[in-house]
Copies of this chain bind each other. A is one copy, B any other.
Amino acid sequence: MGEYGEKRTEAISISWKPDRQSKIPLYSQIVSYFSEKISSGDWVSGQVLPSQRKLSELFEVNRSTIVEAMDELASLGMIESGFGGGTRIANDSWSLLMQDKAPDWQSYIKASGFRANVPTVQIINHLEFEEGITRMSTGELSPDLMQLDLTRKVLSSLSSRDLFMNYPDPLGMPGLRAALQAHLREIGIDAPLSCILIVSGALQALQLISMGIVQAKSTVYVESPSYLGSLNIFQSVGAKLQGVPLDASGILPWMIREPQSNGCHSLLYTIPTFQNPTGCVMPVSRRKEVLKYCKENHMPVIEDDVFRDLWLDEMPPPPIKALDQSGSVVYIGSLSKCFSPGLRLGWLVGPESVVQRLADVKMQMDYGVSVLTQQVVEELFRSGLYYTGVNTIRQQLRERRDLMMRLLEKYFGDLAEWNRPAGGFFIWVRLKNRVLSEQLFNRALKEGLLILPGSVYDMGYSSSLRLTYGYLSAEEMELGMRRLSEILRDMNRK
C-alpha cells in the first residue's frame, strides 16, 4: 500500500464518456482515459476514485465493464485500494506510466534500411576483444608487429611543431595528399592532388562508393570468394553482389555473363594483389585483360590494394590503376593492413568528378579524417619511417608465414589443401571430407579458438576457412593449429 500525499485527496471529477461507436472495447477506452489523466498529471497519486457504481453511471456502461477496467488498472499498478476502502491513484503511477512510454527502439532498428552485419561477423567483432580468445583468422597484424617506436618518434616530433587542429579540407590535408602523391608515384600511379581523397580506411572508401556512385539494383561483380562477401555495405543501398570465378591468376572477367543485364550500372570490385582471402596475385597480363574487359563494357573497376606493401617474396606487379589512362579505375590504399589498423587512414584515387562526389558524401558523413592522424601519417611518409616500418614487418612476417606452412604440413597434411601466400597474411584452407567450416567455427569457439568460416565470404565456400599468420605468436600458432586439427579429426570420425 502506498503512502499518500496530503494535498489532494479529494475525489476526482469526470465529464468524459467512452465512445460506443468505436471498435476499441469500452473497458479498454476507460483504461486509456485513466492512463492519460495520470500521465498528463491531471490526476495525481492519492486521489480517490468514485465508487464503481458511480463510475458505471458516469460512463454509462455496465458494472462488469468497470470491474474489468479497474482490474486492468490495478494490475498495471496505477490504482490501489485505500485504507478506508475506496480506490485511489497509486503512488508511483506516473513514473510507471512514464517508464512504459520509452520508444519501442527495436521497431526503430528493424524498420531502418541498413543491414546488420551477418551474425557470425557480429560475433567475431565482439569476441575479438575478449580475454582468452585465440584469434586464428583475424584481419590485422599482431600488436607486437605494430611499429610503436616509429609512431612514438613521430608523436614526439609533432609535439614540438606547429599543429593544425581545425576542420580539414574536404579532400584531406594538402600536405598528406602531397606525401601520398609521391608514394603513389613509386608504384606507377601519377595522380594530381585533386584526384586523391583521404578516407578512414578502405572500408570507408567502399562505403562512400556505395553511397555516392552506386544505384539501387546495380550489380557489383566480385571475386568469388571475396572480402566484400562479409560486408553488407553494397546490399544496404540495394545493389547486389555477383561472384565471378577466380583462377590462379585472379578474377576471370569474361565469365561475367551479362555486364549490363538489367539496364543498371554495374561495377567490378577486385583485390588483384594478395587477394583476401585466397592470397592470389594477378599477373600483369590478367590486369590488362581485366582493364580491357571493363573498358569495353564501360564498367568501373574498384581496385582494393591494401595488402601491396606486405609482399614477402618479390614486389607485386603495378596496380591496375597504373595501367589505366582512361579513368576507369578507382584505386584504394590504406595503412590498416600493412602498418596500423588503429590509425584508420586510407586513400582513394579516381577521376576528379568521382573524387569530388565522394568528398561531398564524406563531408555529409563525418567532415573528414582526424587531422592529428593525418599529420602523423604525413610525417610517417615524409620521414621515410613508414618504409622502415613495413620493411621490419615484412621480415617478421616471412618467418611467420614459413612457420605456418610447416604447421599446416605437420597437422593438416591429410585434412586440407592450401596455398603458399606470396604476401599479405591470409591462408585460404580448403577442408577435405566436406567438413562444414561453420560447424568447425562453433566447435573451435568452445575451446576459445576463433576462426573465420568460408561461408562468411560466400555460401559456396562452406568447407573453407581463412587463417592468418599475422597475429599469433609462434607458440600460440603451434598450439592453435594442433588443437584445430584435433577438433577436425574428431569431426571427421563422427
Smallest beta-carbon distance A17→chain B, Å: 22
Copies of this polypeptide in the complex: 2
Interface string of A88-103 (1 = CB under 8 A from B): 0000000100110111
How many chain A residues have a CB neighbour from B under 8 Å? 102
Q: Is the interface of A mostly helix, strand, loop or mixed?
A: loop
Q: Which of B143, B155, B237 contacts A112 (CB 8 A)?
A: B237
* A73 in contact (CB, < 8 A): no
Chain B residues within 8 Å of A24, by CB = none
* A284 in contact (CB, < 8 A): no
Chain B residues within 8 Å of A108, by CB = 213-215, 265, 300, 354
Q: Establish whether residues B360 and A101, one from each chain, have CB atoms under 8 Å apart when the complex forms.
A: no
Q: Establish whether residues A113 and B200, one from each chain, have CB atoms under 8 Å apart when the complex forms.
A: no
Q: Which of A10-63 contact B (CB under 8 A)?
A: 39-40
* A5 in contact (CB, < 8 A): no
Identify the stretch in A367-375, A417-425, A451-459 within 8 Å (CB) of chain B at 4 or more residues: A367-375
Chain B residues within 8 Å of A367, by CB = 200-201, 203, 336, 341, 344
Alpha-carbon gap, A141 to B155, bound state (A): 24
Q: Establish whether residues B165 and A343, one from each chain, have CB atoms under 8 Å apart when the complex forms.
A: yes
Q: Establish whether residues B265 and A200, one from each chain, have CB atoms under 8 Å apart when the complex forms.
A: no
Chain B residues within 8 Å of A166, by CB = 140-141, 143, 146, 340-342
Q: Establish whether residues A353 and B109, one from each chain, have CB atoms under 8 Å apart when the complex forms.
A: yes
* A474 in contact (CB, < 8 A): no
Q: With A111-B265, A140-B167, A163-B148 in contact, is A370–B353 under 8 Å at CB?
A: no
Q: Establish whether residues B112 and A214, one from each chain, have CB atoms under 8 Å apart when the complex forms.
A: yes
Q: Establish whether residues A125 and B363, one from each chain, have CB atoms under 8 Å apart when the complex forms.
A: yes
Interface string of A288-314 (1 = CB under 8 A from B): 000010011011100000000000000
* A120 in contact (CB, < 8 A): no
Smallest beta-carbon distance A92→chain B, Å: 12
* A158 in contact (CB, < 8 A): yes
Smallest beta-carbon distance A348→chain B, Å: 13
Q: With CB as the reference atom, state the residue of chain B lying closest to A237.
A: B113
* A433 in contact (CB, < 8 A): no
Q: Establish whether residues A215 and B366, one from each chain, have CB atoms under 8 Å apart when the complex forms.
A: no
Q: Establish whether residues B98 and A326, one from each chain, have CB atoms under 8 Å apart when the complex forms.
A: yes
Q: Which of B126, B165, B354, B369 contacts A148 (CB 8 A)?
A: B165
Q: Establish whether residues A117 and B360, one from each chain, have CB atoms under 8 Å apart when the complex forms.
A: yes
Which of A141, A159, A340, A367 has the most CB atoms of chain B within a 10 A radius of its CB?
Answer: A367
Q: Establish whether residues B39 and A296, one from each chain, have CB atoms under 8 Å apart when the complex forms.
A: yes
Q: Which of A405-426 contact B (CB under 8 A)?
A: none
Identify the stretch in A204-212, A436-444, A486-494 within 8 Å (CB) of chain B at 4 or more residues: A204-212
Q: Establish whether residues A326 and B102, one from each chain, have CB atoms under 8 Å apart when the complex forms.
A: yes
* A106 in contact (CB, < 8 A): yes
Alpha-carbon gap, A126 to B354, bound state (A): 16
Q: Establish whether residues A342 and B364, one from each chain, have CB atoms under 8 Å apart when the complex forms.
A: no
* A168 in contact (CB, < 8 A): yes
* A357 in contact (CB, < 8 A): yes
Chain B residues within 8 Å of A103, by CB = 265, 298-300, 327-328
Residues in chain A within 8 A of chain B (CB atoms): 39-40, 95, 98-99, 101-109, 111-114, 116-117, 122, 125-126, 128-129, 140-141, 143, 146, 148, 151-153, 155-156, 158-160, 162-170, 200-201, 203-204, 207, 211-216, 218, 231-233, 236-238, 264-265, 292, 295-296, 298-300, 325-328, 336, 340-345, 351, 353-354, 357, 360-361, 363-373, 376
* Top 3 A-B pairs, shortest CB-CB distance: A342-B371, A111-B215, A156-B159
8 A-B residue pairs with CB within 8 Å: A95-B325, A103-B299, A103-B328, A104-B298, A112-B211, A116-B357, A156-B156, A372-B372
